[in-house]
């Protein structure tokens, strides 16, 4: 896990601003120069000794140069494939470089990991920018004339170009809650390498190449007879290779279905004596704090539970600091709490964490997923008893399901996951993929929930020089679970049934507990102890004259109406205000 930047056909003297990503790799740094190419790498030491793992790394035959951020979890298996098992003792980067030297990009599908990498082929004089299948690790580039710049974070481009907020992207974010996805960012000219894609730069031309297609994989798997047992086998393998580390590992634990199933599966795979510590985010207000539940569950399993609490008084300074790490708008106070959690783990020398992100998206765990599943069952006339169970579990009627589902498809799925906010301004009809449930799941995985959550979490954890791993986002695990029929995802009327079966083996008393809505104190704090701070931030944004006055009505309504409970709109404005501080070099286009 590291950070890097580089350039082609440009003056390295312009890169002074790029050195502000040392937080991504605080352990060592290295550079490479070759005529028009410059590469700079900052290393966070996870696997391999420094003398073997230092980057940029050149292949033994001198043909390939690599800078790499992330982990290749199956590096030992790749070394076996190369008939050089001893190569794995030097870490995953050395295995990767020699693998690429031999096979170039022809066998990218063999790599299991989270990664962003830049490969320079000295013979072809070509550069390739590659990102993992679901975009867990970030990679951006900027083409300016005959020059190309690329980096792990957007802030690296300061000094190379004026960072200009894209007004249209910001407006979409405010009006419909839509974050840029795919190649887009909040900035003009700054492009993301899309997940599952590699970009070749040769002879001053940029060419995109797709090496992974989740939809095709899902359709292929759906033709097979799938089972919960095979899914669990894939998950066990994902966990096994993700616990490879030369530094201590913790788990981020919320007490929910995903993290509980993951914790229990870790114990099954590595043994009940495997030493792992569970870290939990907490809030000072008792009505929002669920850490008592995590303490109970951890005690039952025999795992130490360390809790990290966030108070409202800490928010203003953390928000300012985190803005400089995130580069783009982020989700709210929960991300700030996540940042503090990572800081505490780093102080305790836990450099790597395991996390349960992806379970809801794989198995349709959110309320709007369940609505789309019920809509499918009604449309197709299938599994009538399951439809009745889901209607009962959600305490709703079929008429309401049809009405809400049709509105969701017309709006392009623009809603909060618990359906408290269907964006009336959104009118972006969606083309169905297989069925409506898998359509909204693919949307969340490729465009909505997963991309933005991974961005928030990557910046907040890397700001502390830490690595977070996601076993449920292993491409084999995710695609297999996504391909499950509705009857397997919601068997017995239970959402995320395959994960609940893991819990049932060890904690039968809680396996069927309904999904808890994640409730944070953000609204209460912004109405109360953070009210003055909120007004200060809004004043800064108003003074910038960036937005028409109409956008501030929601702020006035929030503080003048007793009915205004959703504070996401308010956070959007507060978050945006940081882009207009005098100390920041941000302009608007």
For residue range 334-376, list pLDDT tens digits in order: 999 999 999 999 999 999 999 999 999 999 999 999 999 999 9
Asked if residue 193 belongs to a domain, the reply is yes
Query: Terminus-to-terminus CA distance in the chain, angstroms?
Result: 33
- Tell me: cis bond preceding 56? Omega within 30 of 0 counts: yes
**How does residue 582 score in pLDDT terms, banded at 50, 70 and 90?**
low
Residue 39 lies in a domain: yes
Q: Parallel, antiparallel, or unpaired for β 163-165 and 586-588?
A: parallel
Give the range of the structural domain holding residue 459, as residue numbers without chain letter.
Answer: 215-361+449-506
On whether both 329 and 434 belong to a single domain, the answer is no
What does the pLDDT average to over 89-100?
95
Is-contact 414 178, C-beta < 8 A?
yes
Report whether pLDDT(583) > 50: no
Mean pLDDT, to the nearest integer, of 206-218? 96
Residues 405, 373: Cα–Cα separation, whole Å: 9
Residues 421 and 481 in one domain: no
Cα separation, 185 vs 12, in Å, equals 24
- Is residue 149 within 8 A of residue 7, CB to CB? The reply is yes
Q: Which region among 283-287, 379-383, 410-414, 423-427 has the lowest average model confidence (pLDDT)?
A: 423-427
Task: Report d(CA 167, CA 188) in Å as an integer.
Answer: 9
Does the pLDDT value for residue 426 go beyond 70?
A: no
Last residue of one domain, picked from the residues 212, 233, 254 = 212
Q: Which residue has the tokens 């609505």?
A: 371
Is a pLDDT exceeding 80 seen at residue 183? Answer: yes
Q: Could you give the number of structural domains in the chain?
A: 4
Q: For residue 506, give the DSSP letter.
A: H
Among 212, 242, 272, identify where a domain stops: 212
Instruction: pLDDT band for 268, please (50, 70, 90 cuts).
Output: very high
Other beta carbons within 10 Å of 510: 17
User: Which DSSP letter does residue 221 get?
Assistant: H
Lowest mean pLDDT among 18-32, 129-143, 208-222, 309-323: 18-32
Q: Are residues 494 and 350 in the same domain?
A: yes
Q: Which residues contact residue 14 at a Cβ distance below 8 angstroms, ignoring those fewer than 6 apart?
A: 7, 159, 160
Q: Are 439 and 193 in contact (CB under 8 A)?
A: no
120 part of a folded domain: yes
The one-character DSSP state at 422 is B
Residue indicated by tokens 């951006």: 140
CB 351 within 8 A of CB 46: yes
Residue 512 covered by a domain = no
| Other beta carbons less than 10 A from residue 11's beta carbon | 10
Residue 142 lies in a domain: yes
What is the rounded distance in angstroms from the CA atom of residue 88 to the CA atom of residue 107? 18
Confidence at residue 158, expressed as pLDDT on a 0 to 100 scale = 83
Strands (E), 57-190: 57-58, 64-72, 113-121, 126-131, 140-144, 147-151, 163-165
The answer on 85 and 163 residing in a single domain is yes
The span from the CA of 393 to the CA of 495, in Å, is 10
pTM for the whole thing?
A: 0.94
Lowest mean pLDDT: which of 199-208, 228-237, 475-484? 199-208
What CATH number should be reported for the domain holding residue 68? 3.60.20.10
Query: Whats the size of the chain, residue-wise?
Result: 589
Whether 516 is covered by a domain: the verdict is no
Question: Cα 367–371–375 angle (5° rounding)?
Answer: 170
587 in the Ramachandran plot: left (φ > 0), alpha (ψ -120 to 50) or beta? beta
Quickly list DSSP for 390-421.
Answer: HHHHTT--HHHHHHHHHHHHHTTS-B-TTSS-
pLDDT-derived band at 413 (thresholds 50, 70, 90) equals confident
Confidence of residue 519 (pLDDT cuts 50, 70, 90): confident
Single residue among 446, 472, 489 that ends a domain in this structure: 446
Q: Does the pLDDT at position 238 exceed 70?
A: yes
Q: Taking 50 as the threshold, does the pLDDT of residue 476 lie above it?
A: yes
Residue 511 lies in a domain: no
Could you tell me if 121 and 176 lie in one domain? yes
Span 492-504, mean pLDDT? 95
Dist CA 542 CA 317 (whole Å) = 21
| CATH number of the domain residue 324 falls in | 3.40.50.620
Same domain (yes/no): 415, 351: no
Residues 6 or more apart in contact with residue 532 via CB below 8 angstroms: none
According to DSSP, the residues that pair with 57 across neighbouring strands are: 66
The whole-number pLDDT of residue 146 equals 86
> Which residues, 6 or more positions from 132, have their beta carbon under 8 angstroms from its beta carbon?
70, 113, 114, 115, 116, 195, 196
378 and 266 assigned to the same domain: no
Kindly state whether residue 190 falls inside one of the protein's structural domains. yes
Q: In percent, how much of the chain has pLDDT > 70?
A: 94
Q: What is the pLDDT of residue 251?
A: 97
Q: Provide the pLDDT for residue 421.
A: 64
Nearest to 430 by CA among 451, 412, 444: 412
pLDDT at 584 over 70: no
**Of the candidates 70, 61, 66, 90, the residue with the CA atom closest to the CA atom of residue 78:** 90
**Same domain, yes or no, for 423 and 485?**
no
> For residue 557, which of 548, 547, 566 has the smallest C-alpha distance?
566
Residues 133 and 56 in one domain: yes
Q: 142 and 29, same structural domain?
A: yes
Domain shared by 67 and 202, yes or no: yes
Same domain as 553, residue 469:
no
pLDDT at 14 over 90: no
């Amino acid at each position: 896990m590291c950070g890097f930047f580089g350039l082609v056909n440009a003056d390295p003297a312009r890169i002074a601003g790029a050195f502000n990503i040392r937080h991504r790799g605080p352990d060592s740094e290295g550079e490479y120069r070759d005529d028009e190419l410059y590469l700079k790498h900052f290393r966070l030491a996870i696997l391999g000794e420094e003398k073997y793992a230092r980057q940029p790394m050149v292949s033994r035959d001198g043909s390939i140069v690599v800078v790499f951020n992330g982990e290749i979890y199956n590096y030992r298996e790749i070394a076996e494939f190369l008939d050089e098992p001893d190569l794995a003792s030097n870490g995953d980067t050395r295995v990767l470089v020699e693998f690429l030297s031999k096979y170039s990009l022809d066998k990218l599908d063999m790599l299991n990991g989270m990664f962003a990498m830049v490969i320079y082929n000295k013979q072809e004089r070509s550069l390739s920018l590659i990102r993992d299948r679901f975009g867990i690790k970030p990679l951006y580039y900027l083409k300016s004339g005959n020059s190309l710049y690329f980096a792990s974070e957007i802030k690296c481009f300061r000094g190379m170009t004026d960072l200009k907020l894209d007004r249209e992207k910001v407006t979409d974010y405010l009006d419909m809650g839509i974050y840029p996805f795919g190649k887009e960012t909040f900035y003009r000219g700054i492009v993301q390498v899309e997940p599952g894609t590699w970009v070749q730069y040769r002879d001053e031309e940029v060419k995109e190449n797709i090496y992974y297609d989740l939809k095709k994989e899902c359709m292929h798997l759906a033709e097979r007879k799938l089972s919960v047992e095979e899914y669990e086998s894939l998950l066990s393998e994902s966990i096994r290779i993700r616990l490879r580390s030369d530094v201590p590992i913790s788990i981020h634990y919320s007490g929910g279905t995903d993290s509980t199933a993951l914790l229990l599966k870790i114990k099954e795979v590595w043994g009940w004596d495997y030493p792992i510590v569970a870290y939990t985010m907490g809030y000072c207000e008792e009505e929002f704090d669920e850490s008592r539940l995590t303490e109970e569950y951890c005690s039952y399993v025999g795992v130490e539970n360390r809790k990290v609490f966030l108070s409202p008084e800490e928010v203003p300074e953390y928000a300012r600091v985190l803005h400089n790490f995130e580069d783009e708008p982020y989700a709210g106070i929960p991300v700030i709490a996540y940042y503090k959690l990572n800081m505490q783990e780093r102080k305790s020398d836990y450099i790597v964490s395991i996390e349960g992100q992806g379970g809801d998206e794989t198995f349709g765990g959110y309320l709007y997923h369940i609505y789309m599943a019920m809509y499918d069952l009604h449309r197709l006339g299938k599994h009538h008893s399951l439809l009745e169970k889901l209607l009962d579990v959600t305490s709703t009627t079929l008429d309401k399901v049809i009405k809400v589902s049709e509105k969701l498809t017309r709006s392009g799925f623009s809603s909060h996951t618990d359906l408290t906010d269907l964006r009336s301004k959104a009118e972006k009809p969606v083309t169905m993929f297989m069925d409506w449930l898998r359509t909204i799941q693919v949307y969340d995985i490729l465009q909505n929930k997963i991309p933005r959550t991974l961005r928030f979490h990557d910046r907040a954890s890397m700001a502390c020089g830490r690595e977070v791993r996601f076993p449920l986002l292993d491409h084999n695990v995710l695609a297999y679970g996504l391909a499950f029929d509705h009857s397997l995802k919601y068997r017995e009327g239970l959402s995320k049934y395959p994960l609940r079966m893991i819990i049932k083996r060890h904690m039968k008393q809680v396996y069927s507990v309904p999904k808890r809505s994640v409730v944070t104190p953000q609204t209460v704090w912004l109405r109360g102890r953070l009210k003055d701070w909120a007004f200060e931030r809004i004043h800064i944004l108003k003074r910038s004259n960036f937005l028409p006055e109409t956008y501030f009505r929601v702020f006035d309504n929030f503080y003048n109406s007793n009915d205004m409970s959703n504070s996401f709109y308010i956070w959007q404005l507060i978050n945006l205000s940081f882009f207009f501080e005098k100390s920041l070099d941000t302009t608007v286009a």
